[in-house]
């Protein structure tokens, strides 16, 4: 479980870094902003969200990586164990909610663009559900 937690923490840190890059105008893995919107945003727009939104998303994703690292004991926690457990519960709920959302018709109606809709069902939502399960397991172990 520690290896899975370490992998997910590093993966989330990389995803956070990607959001920072997008905030600064990078368009990888696409060739232009309009194409990037269809891959990672999915709503009806040709423009990426404003940089501040990208940076907020990056901060939240990085915070989740830190929570996973704290839960797994990969880093020494200056926080009380009870607070780490609460953060773990919060991360579990957020990732589970985001994971389930990808399969809800109202979500599909709000984010219908392809290839985002396909990627959301096949990659983004399942990844969120796996992270939610890891957070839940780590939180339960932390509870002892």
The model carries a pTM of 0.93
pLDDT of 69 over the 90 cut: yes
Distance CA 14, CA 17 (A): 5
Res 144: pLDDT? 82
More confident residue, 123 or 77: 123
pLDDT of 39 over the 90 cut: yes
Over the stretch 12-38, which tens digit does the pLDDT of each residue have? Answer: 999 999 999 999 999 999 999 999 999
The mean of the pLDDT values for the chain is 96
Instruction: Print the domain residue range for 88.
Output: 2-143
In the chain, how many domains are there?
1
């Amino acid at each position: 479980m520690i290896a899975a937690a370490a992998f997910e923490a590093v993966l989330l840190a990389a995803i956070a870094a990607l959001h920072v890059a997008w905030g600064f105008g990078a368009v990888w893995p696409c060739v232009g902003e309009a194409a990037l919107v269809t891959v990672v945003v999915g709503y009806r727009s040709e423009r990426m969200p404003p940089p501040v939104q990208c940076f907020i998303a990056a901060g939240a994703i990085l915070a989740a990586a830190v929570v996973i690292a704290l839960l797994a004991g990969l880093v020494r926690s200056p926080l009380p164990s009870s607070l780490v457990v609460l953060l773990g519960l919060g991360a579990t709920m957020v990732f589970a909610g985001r994971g389930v959302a990808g399969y809800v018709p109202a979500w599909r109606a709000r984010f219908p663009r392809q290839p985002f809709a396909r990627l959301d069902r096949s990659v983004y939502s399942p990844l969120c559900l796996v992270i939610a399960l890891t957070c839940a397991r780590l939180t339960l172990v932390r509870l002892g």
